[in-house]
Amino acid sequence: MLVANYKYKKDLKARIGERLSYTETSLFGAEYRKDGRLVVVGPSAYNRRWFAEVLMRNGLIEGVK
């Protein structure tokens, strides 16, 4: 699961139209995709306070659920 580098989910929602700031947690680096749906956790991999589904298009955040 990707770690979104935002303190709150509302901070992530405020970044629609921008590139996602994230930390890859997979050893193989296969989690991030510039198009499609991503499941992210925040604010860190060890302090999981929120989860979100992020819709990406052309490397930009298109929506957050």
What is the pLDDT confidence band of residue 28, given thresholds at 50, 70 and 90?
A: confident
In which band, very low, low, confident or very high, does the pLDDT at 6 lie, cut at 50, 70 and 90? very high
Helix (H, G, I), strand (E, B) or coil at 65: coil
Average pLDDT estimate for 20-42:
93
From the centroid of its chain, how far is CA 17? 13
